[in-house]
Chain A
Amino acid sequence: MPRSKTDPATGMPAPATSARGLGRLHLIGGLVGLVCAVVLLVEKIELLKNPDYVPTCSINPILSCGSIMSTPQADAFGIPNPIIGVAGFAALATLGAVLTTGVSLPRWLWLATQAAVTLAVVFIHWLIYQSLYVIGALCPYCMVVWVVTIAVFAYTTVHNLQRLRDRATPRGQRTLAALTEFRGAIVTGWCLVITVLIAIRFWDYWVTLL
């Protein structure tokens, strides 16, 4: 998308988002998430076959997905979470592939995507909370999924918000321009907050590793 559009409020060039760029993010994020979800699902099946199986991601007492997979939170909606991941990330990657071709999608599909990524981001934050403060362990593949979901949510939301630009007040437009320009930094900051929470929560353990 050309960056020559000017922001009517400030006269500055308005940072815009491109559907193709978002498509690449969806495609890569979807594939990365898909790999994690498939690995988790395979590990879960191994664990069901043999309760003493030690999953590849159980590295130490904190980084341990075996214990996490055995918790009720691992089947939040009555089915194993990785199944949701496999379906969701496959859909995301497909959508991303379609977007990279540059076709324009119908409004309903954008709304559905927004709804899906919003649900996803709420769900992973519930999982983050459970992982840190209820279960007290981290699952490495899940953390990759957290990052992908946060990035996809932020970039998709900012992209969809662009539609409101013409209808927004000047102040709204400035906010939107800032959100758009700094969306990368927002994702970084978001992940750093979680990193700090993890550091604090398991501090006693991390310092023993040094």
Chain B
Amino acid sequence: MSKSLKLSMAMIVAVLVALVAAVTFSRAGDEATPSDSGNGTSEPLVREDSPRLTSGKEATFVEYLDFECEACGAAHPVMTDLREKYGDDVTFVVRYLPLHGNSMNAALAAEAAREQGEFEAMHDQLFETQGEWSHSESSKAKTFEGYAKDLGLDMEQYRADVKDPAIKKRIEQSTQDAQELGVTGTPTFFLDGEKIEPSTIGDFETKLDAAIED
């Protein structure tokens, strides 16, 4: 075996040992300090200004969504049912990860509606009409303005809020937090701070039941 090959093997072994040691060490550290910040409502997963659809005390459920993502649209009826069933016990939080052409416009519309207390209505409206406005090259801001009007919002205020940099900043913060959390797709769900990947509605319910039990 050449010296170079021996050196290569030695380096690989050294790195492996270091990684194993680091994992062991960090796990030992985890056990010593139960770093679970309680209810999974800490930053960057949930921020003070993150929109909440319900405000239960037993658990926190976060959905990273994109109003234009088809999978999120498909999950919407399920999420609505869960919200109805568990809304009293569980806080349902929405975070944004705008990945499509009109995702940002839609998120801005939801946030502007939220300024007037109509977040949930706009949220539901955007998902229910997703097929009508998604996959478009051009801006659908006018369509969303129409929804705002239908909801009876103060349109002057709405138009100002949609353009408000502070409101846009919230959505950008959400995207940044997604990166930090390693969220790269939508919908991504977190239950009490832990990422969950339920495959069926039953899965969701089992997990929510367990979280409420805790």
Binding site for B on A (CB under 8 A): 51-52, 54, 58, 61-62, 64, 66-67, 70, 135-137, 181-185, 188-189, 192, 195-196, 199, 202-208, 210
Q: What's the Cα separation between A208 and B8 when bound, in Å?
A: 29
Distance in Å: Cβ of B122 to nearest Cβ of chain A = 22
Asked whether, in the complex, the Cβ of A185 is within 8 Å of the Cβ of B7, the reply is yes
Asked whether, in the complex, the Cβ of B26 is within 8 Å of the Cβ of A203, the reply is yes
Q: Which residues of B contact A61 (CB under 8 A)?
A: 182-185, 188, 195
Q: Which residues of B contact A185 (CB under 8 A)?
A: 4-5, 7-8, 11
Asked whether, in the complex, the Cβ of A67 is within 8 Å of the Cβ of B184, the reply is yes
The B61-117 residues at the A interface (CB cut-off 8 A) are 69-71, 99-100
A-facing mask of B164-196, CB < 8 A → 1, else 0?
000000000000000110111100100000010
Asked whether, in the complex, the Cβ of A182 is within 8 Å of the Cβ of B179, the reply is no
Q: Which residues of A contact B5 (CB under 8 A)?
A: 184-185
Q: What's the Cα separation between A192 and B15 when bound, in Å?
A: 7
Q: What's the Cα separation between A176 and B100 when bound, in Å?
A: 52
Distance in Å: Cβ of B127 to nearest Cβ of chain A = 15
CB nearest to B135 among chain A residues: A51
Asked whether, in the complex, the Cβ of B182 is within 8 Å of the Cβ of A62, the reply is yes
Asked whether, in the complex, the Cβ of A192 is within 8 Å of the Cβ of B23, the reply is no
Q: What's the Cα separation between A204 and B7 when bound, in Å?
A: 30
Given contacts A136-B179, A207-B23, whether A188 and B185 have CB atoms under 8 Å apart is no
Asked whether, in the complex, the Cβ of B12 is within 8 Å of the Cβ of A188, the reply is yes
Chain B residue total in the interface (Cβ 8 A) = 29
- B3 CB within 8 Å of chain A: yes
CB nearest to B26 among chain A residues: A207
CB nearest to A183 among chain B residues: B4
Binding site for A on B (CB under 8 A): 2-5, 7-8, 11-12, 15, 18-19, 22-23, 26-27, 69-71, 99-100, 135, 179-180, 182-185, 188, 195
Q: What's the Cα separation between A183 and B71 when bound, in Å?
A: 48
CB nearest to B5 among chain A residues: A184
Q: Which residues of A contact B22 (CB under 8 A)?
A: 199, 203
Q: Which residues of A contact B15 (CB under 8 A)?
A: 192, 195-196
Distance in Å: Cβ of A121 to nearest Cβ of chain B = 19
Q: What's the Cα separation between A137 and B100 when bound, in Å?
A: 18
Q: What's the Cα separation between A206 and B27 when bound, in Å?
A: 12
Asked whether, in the complex, the Cβ of B3 is within 8 Å of the Cβ of A182, the reply is yes
Distance in Å: Cβ of B198 to nearest Cβ of chain A = 15
CB nearest to A64 among chain B residues: B184
Known: A61-B183, A137-B182. 20 other contacts (CB 8 A): A52-B69, A58-B185, A61-B182, A61-B184, A61-B188, A66-B185, A67-B184, A137-B184, A182-B3, A184-B2, A184-B4, A184-B8, A185-B11, A188-B8, A188-B11, A192-B12, A196-B15, A199-B22, A203-B26, A207-B26
Q: Which residues of A contact B182 (CB under 8 A)?
A: 61-62, 136-137, 202, 204-205
Q: Which residues of A contact B188 (CB under 8 A)?
A: 61
By Cβ-Cβ distance, the 7 closest A-B pairs, closest first, are: A188-B8, A185-B7, A67-B184, A136-B179, A184-B4, A61-B182, A185-B4
Can you list 5 residue pairs at the A/B interface with Cβ under 8 Å? A61-B184, A61-B195, A67-B185, A192-B11, A207-B27
